[in-house]
């Protein structure tokens, strides 16, 4: 293979695919290289919450704009995405939590985003028959949910319809540079020449960038999810109440919880200083494991040949879900929503989330090397953000200036002394 493009995108998750869609719409010749399948990793494995609620203030304007895109996305892509706009609800038990949410609500209001603190009675009207152990909840009515197994696939079809090319089973081994500028990529099937390369490699971005001497701190966290059998529809509000759930149009639920697993690798050690604070705050919810992954991912931190082997061995990260946790989540669902008493787990899966120390993505065009654009590090909440990320990154490339301020998401924050503290709740 010896090809040329205006832009090469590494990774066909929602970030890379949405970027390709908007670039192709703007007339660019785009090639997307995906080592596995379209949306094989996080983008098809997430809960499907599309929320503005609980976001870091820096992300609120992006999510408000994303929300507008989501509302018209089925029409725009001519596809069923199972979009439902029935709000996002998070319950609270203590006055302290209520005060925290009230503060967030006021911040959201300053941006023009309405959210409400619900009394118990108001909450019961949204989710009838619930047995939640809570005092009240925060609710953002304009939030929604969509089906991850459909969204990125639909974006990819629409991008292809506008001329974008998707090469699956095509791992990028190296981003090539000439005289301080990006000149293309070296893939397992040959070279693609391009003056612009977008790194949207999800959990792999940190490893990929390390080959250029760039340090993007990332930590892989494994989240487990289950899909249940159907129950009569109770509520379509995407809800977090100790367990997270959303009921789909067909009555089935996606269920999960906050507790997560971390499979130790060399990166856990190399990146630990940047994550020590987060780990200390969340250690009750994170279980550490030492397993095969630690040995599988040993060499890629040091040699390009070893990284190439990792990328082709792990075509699709498909870790084993934590069944013990999911069984507990199911019994909690039965208790919290008694009308679900007969539902059972139909299937379960897991995904590795790419966490950043401040839980913010990196959306930036670098000076060194020029032509390298980063759209990665979504820290467990990049599904809802996917469409706006694609639009903003395409604006950055095609107009030199995005329509929303991306300063908070600059790559240099990892080295310019910025205090990296998470402000988002999930």
Ligand X SMILES: Cc1cc2nc3c(=O)[nH]c(=O)nc-3n(C[C@H](O)[C@H](O)[C@H](O)COP(=O)(O)OP(=O)(O)OC[C@H]3O[C@@H](n4cnc5c(N)ncnc54)[C@H](O)[C@@H]3O)c2cc1C
- Part of the chain binding ligand X (CB under 6 A), chosen from 5-13, 93-101, 119-127, 417-425: 5-13
Question: Which helix H or strand E contains 139, and what residues bound it?
Answer: strand 136-140
In the block, tokens 């997430």 appear at 46
How far, in Å, CA of 71 to CA of 85, rounded? Answer: 8
Q: Is 376 in the site for ligand X (CB under 6 A)?
A: yes
Choose, by CB under 6 A, the member of 22, 378, 409, 411 that binds ligand X: 378
Q: Two tokens at 270?
A: 């190399």
Residues ≥6 apart with Cβ < 8 Å to 66: 50, 52, 384, 385, 386, 387, 388
Does 200 engage in binding with ligand X (CB under 6 A)? Answer: yes
CA 263 – CA 292 distance, rounded (Å): 9
Minimum Å gap between C-beta 423 and ligand X is 16
Contact between 387 and ligand X per CB under 6 A? no
Q: How far apart are CA 54 and CA 220, in angstroms?
A: 22
* Of residues 6 and 37, the one with the C-beta less far from ligand X: 37
Among 7, 8, 9, 15, binds ligand X (CB under 6 A): 15
E-assigned strands of 280-344?
286-289
33 contributes a contact to ligand X by CB under 6 A: yes
Q: Whose structure tokens read 């029409």?
A: 75
Of these, 54, 136, 319, 384, which contacts ligand X (CB under 6 A)? 384
Strands in 238-315 per DSSP E: 238-241, 243-247, 253-257, 260-263, 286-289
Q: Which of 172, 205, 198, 149 is nearest to 356 (CA)?
A: 205
Task: Please tell me whether residue 35 binds ligand X under the rule CB under 6 A.
Answer: yes
With CB under 6 A, what is the number of residues at the site for ligand X?
Answer: 40
Q: Does 204 bind ligand X (CB under 6 A)?
A: yes
DSSP 25: H
d(CA 336, CA 331): 9
Sole binder of ligand X in the list 5, 8, 9, 11 (CB under 6 A): 11
321 belongs to the binding site for ligand X (CB under 6 A): no
DSSP assigned state of 401:
S
Closest to ligand X by CB, 194 or 200: 200
- Examine residue 268 and tell whether it contacts ligand X (CB under 6 A): no
Of the two residues 42 and 247, which places its CB atom closer to ligand X in the complex?
A: 42
Nearer to ligand X, 136 or 351 (CB): 351
Nearer to ligand X, 136 or 361 (CB): 361
The CA-atom distances, in angstroms, between 136 and each of 15, 233, 288, 390 are: 34, 22, 33, 36
Q: Is 144 in the site for ligand X (CB under 6 A)?
A: no
Q: Give residues 350-369 in contact with ligand X (rule: CB under 6 A).
A: 351, 353
Supply φ then ψ for residue 102, to 5 degrees: -65, -40
| Residue selected from 217, 223, 321, 371 as contacting ligand X according to rule CB under 6 A | 223
Q: CB of 296: closest distance to ligand X in angstroms?
A: 15
Residue 34 Cβ vs ligand X, minimum distance, rounded to whole Å: 5
CB nearer to ligand X: give 135 or 328: 328
For the stretch 2-41, what's the b/e string if a residue is b when 16 or more beta carbons lie within 10 angstroms of its beta carbon? ebebbbbbbbbbbbbbbbbbbbbbbebbbbbbbbbebbbb
Residue count of the chain, please give it: 426
From residue 170 to residue 199, what is the string marking binding to ligand X with x (rule CB under 6 A)? -xx---------------------------
Instruction: For residue 379, count other CB atoms closer than 10 A to its CB.
Output: 23
Candidate ranges 75-83, 200-208, 227-235, 263-271; the one touching ligand X (CB under 6 A): 200-208
Contact (CB, 8 A) for 356 and 331: no
In the complex, what is the shortest distance from the CB of residue 210 to ligand X, in angstroms, rounded to a whole number? 12
Which of 12-20, 114-122, 263-271, 403-411 is the region at the interface with ligand X (rule: CB under 6 A)? 12-20
| The pairing of beta strand 144-145 with beta strand 49-50 | antiparallel
Chain residues that interact with ligand X, rule: CB under 6 A: 10-16, 33-36, 40-43, 45-49, 171-172, 200-204, 208, 223, 225, 311, 351, 353, 376, 378, 380-384
């Amino acid at each position: 293979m010896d090809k040329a493009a205006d832009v090469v995108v590494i990774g066909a998750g929602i970030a890379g695919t949405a970027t390709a869609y908007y670039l192709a719409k703007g007339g660019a010749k785009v090639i997307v290289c995906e080592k596995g399948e379209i949306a094989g990793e996080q983008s098809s494995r997430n809960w499907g919450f599309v929320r503005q609620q609980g976001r870091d203030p820096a992300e609120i304007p992006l999510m408000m704009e994303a929300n507008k895109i989501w509302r018209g996305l089925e029409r725009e892509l001519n596809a069923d995405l199972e979009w439902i706009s029935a709000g996002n609800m998070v319950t609270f038990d203590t006055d302290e939590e209520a005060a925290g949410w009230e503060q967030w609500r006021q911040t959201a209001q300053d941006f023009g985003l309405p959210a409400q603190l619900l009394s118990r009675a108001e909450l019961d009207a949204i989710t009838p028959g619930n047995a939640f152990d809570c005092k009240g909840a925060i609710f953002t009515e304009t939030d929604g949910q969509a089906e991850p197994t459909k969204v990125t696939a639909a974006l990819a079809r629409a991008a292809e319809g506008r001329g974008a090319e998707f090469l699956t089973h095509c791992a990028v081994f190296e981003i090539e540079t000439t005289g301080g500028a990006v000149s293309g990529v070296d893939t397992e099937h040959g070279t693609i020449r391009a003056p612009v390369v977008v790194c949207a490699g999800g959990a792999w971005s940190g490893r990929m960038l390390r080959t250029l001497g760039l340090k993007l701190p990332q930590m892989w966290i494994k989240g487990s999810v289950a899909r249940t059998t159907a129950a009569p529809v109770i509520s379509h509000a995407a809800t977090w109440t100790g367990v997270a759930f959303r009921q789909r149009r067909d009555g089935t639920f996606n269920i999960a919880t906050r507790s997560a697993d971390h499979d130790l690798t060399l990166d856990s050690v190399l990146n630990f200083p940047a994550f020590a604070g987060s780990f200390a705050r969340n250690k009750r919810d994170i279980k550490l494991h030492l397993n095969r992954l630690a040995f599988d991912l040993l060499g890629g931190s040091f040699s390009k040949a070893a990284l190439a082997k990792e990328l082709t061995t792990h075509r699709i990260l498909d870790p084993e879900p934590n069944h013990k946790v999911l069984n507990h989540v199911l019994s909690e669902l039965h208790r919290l929503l008694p009308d679900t008493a007969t539902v059972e787990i139909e299937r379960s899966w897991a995904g590795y989330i790419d966490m950043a120390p401040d839980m913010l993505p990196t959306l930036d065009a670098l000076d060194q090397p020029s032509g390298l654009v980063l759209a990665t590090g979504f820290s467990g909440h990049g599904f809802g953000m996917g469409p706006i990320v694609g639009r903003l990154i395409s604006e950055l490339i095609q107009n030199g200036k995005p329509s929303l301020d991306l300063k908070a998401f600059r790559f240099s924050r990892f080295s310019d002394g910025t205090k990296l503290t998470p402000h988002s709740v999930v």
